[in-house]
Structure 1
Amino acid sequence: MNLDFDPKLLEFRKKIRSFFERDYPKDILAKVASGASLTTPEVRKAEMALGAKGWLASAWPKEHGGPGWGIEEQYIFDEELERAGAPTVTPMGVVYVGPVLYTFGSEEQQARWLPGIADGSVGWAQGYSEPEAGSDLASLQFSALREGDEYVLNGTKIWTSAANHADWIFLLTRTSQEAKKQLGITFICAELDLPGVTVKPIISIDGKYHLSQCDFENVRVPVSNRIGEEGKGWTYSQYLLGNERTSYARIGGKRAQLAGIRSIASQIPTGGNQRLIDDNAFAARLSSAQIKVDALEITTLRVLCSVKDGGAPGNEASILKIMATEIAQEITSLFVVAAAEHGNRKFADSVSPEWTGNAAFAAPGVATYFGARAQSIYGGTNEIQRNIIAKHVLGL
């Protein structure tokens, strides 16, 4: 079985790699490498650097402002972005709502919103989960009451990613109480600076602010902000979630993390103690993680290659979500082990009262470990994904 890319794609890879090495903002790369969070202006700068090349919306067709790349080019671009250590593209605009807009939105909505998403100048957030509707998303109660040419929005969205950097939010709202809870849900967009909108920070266990609670009190938006038909929001949301669950793969980033762990574990600690890489149990875990990333890559390519005519991945995307998030958690666990071993050995070898603890990789590595605990929860818990696989893939 030949898993090599077509040789004609080598020049494409060189072009992408050259951009990240020469032209991508160096201050952004340095801040990401330090483990610090980007400010909103820095997020805009990072994404507009890609947008200026026409590469931010890497999976979009040309007629909607994308580069018109095939699956292979998209995959190579993602690999090179992560290899360079660039921040992951905020998916709420280019991966989630953008494809919904050019698939189900009106021409006016496409002209209004797609350019700002594609060039990175406008940020978006996703308003799905609620305090009483997380994995059981169809139970949402965020209301949109129509009054003439407006909807009046009331309710709370929680665990809202990227709201702290966003200008707009797309929302699943309840416009009617149908017997089947998936019915009566409508897809509506709103600006986050409207009167009645309050965005409250949620600081996660890694100490970072990337989640928010968004409260809406009598917020008025025009009916023209509704995507598609009233009551069809559930259909649009399922299309979006297929794209979301494939976006977790991030093969290039995982390979870079494993290479970093191997380098750390191969160093001889102060005093000449045994290298961590020579510990059989640790080496076995590291090798197992590398094999799992290989399997994830092959599975990702199979799912992506099955997508036809610009559609969204099907229920098989749930397989990727489980694999990618569990592997991410395993990799970050290896960082913690490496940090602990480094600290223990350095402390044992130290004769100086000024010893300050672990190496530079430890703090960001441990923060990444804590942040990765949420991966098997958001985007639909892995338990929910297993139900989807059982029912809709295996037909059980």
Structure 2
Amino acid sequence: MKYLADKNGYYDSFGGAFIPEMLQEQIIELQNHYQKIIKSSEFQKSFKNILKNYVGRPTPLFFSKKYSDKYGGKIYLKREDLNHTGSHKINNTVGQSLLAKILGKKKIIAETGAGQHGVATATTCALMNLECMIFIGEKDMERQSSNVLRMKALGAKVIPVLSGDKTLKDAVNEAIRFWINHSECYYLIGSTIGPHPYPQMVADFQSIISEEIKKQLEEKEGCKFPNYIVACIGGGSNAAGSFYHFLDHDFVNLIAVEAAGLGVHTKKTAASIHCGTKGVLHGSMTFLLQNKDGQVLPTYSISAGLDYPGIGPMHANLFLKKRVNFLHATDEEALQAGYELIRLEGIIPALESAHALAALKKIPSKMNDVIIVNLSGRGDKDINVYNKFFNKYSKYEQTT
């Protein structure tokens, strides 16, 4: 596959492993062993067994007649929100937790923003009898408090991060600092970010999404290939999984939707492709929000999972090669799209997923076009934010 990483972890000019010397041993261990381990028949058997009998895969590909009637085309929702723990994140945590055990690791550290990766990590650690420590920014602890309670209930030690903006970037920073001083741990990164081999490894584990889409679409439409696949994007794990098996088929339009926050023309945004420049963030060369001196800029999004100043190197390359079309949605557009799905189909999407739904208004689809939107997670964690919007929107509806 031409858009995946080479043996050194580069996607053309993006990727690599820009790491401090004190992490060399851990990263080299992964680089030397992960491919052999995850391709073994024993690993794949365990991985697929857990995904089927514990996670609940395959997730449904749901045809939304109401969306199709409203926007045109044939619109399907890939229901990753129906996975155990409520998002796509568990596909990756199952894979990396199995890998960690084979490598002899007994303690897992992870970062989280929206809390979904934290919950998924805590869940698989409980399943596999691994000690678990989750770093989360203090701001995200407040806006994702229900997921913090779930992590604690699952036995994870939750570490509040008080530095920087107290969001996802800062949680990653603290997790890496801890890992430097505790080499016996395994760092379970949640997105397609970080030094090689993490971006490719996470994409590999999430590729089950597009693998299932091809099979399900053939059953429903008689063809494996849709006209469009749409996914929200921050670091890029659910987008990588949704796009993976369609990357080499250029006739499939791939659309990634960034979090614009209050707008890409403001300083309150998290749109790394639209507003960023090339540089190194958390161990890889990519696009990120930075000033002229290379200092990482603060980000803003109503969605904690997309509130990150960079994008995975795989996606940076896909943008530069014009293989993926990058759109953006503001907070208001995401809230409106989430509200619409709730009322039309009785599905509460995560605010992250709502950004992808917002793109339906911007796709020039034809009557018979097949459009798949990856519903990456459920919105229980965001219900307080939605509730505020409902109250505001209800008042607006009453006056119009």
Bigger-Rg structure (1/2): 1
TM-score > 0.5 by shorter chain: no
- With the length of structure 2 as denominator, give the TM-score of the two structures: 0.26
Q: Give the structure, 1 or 2, with the largest relative contact order (CA under 8 Å, sep 6 or more).
A: 2
- With the length of structure 1 as denominator, give the TM-score of the two structures: 0.27
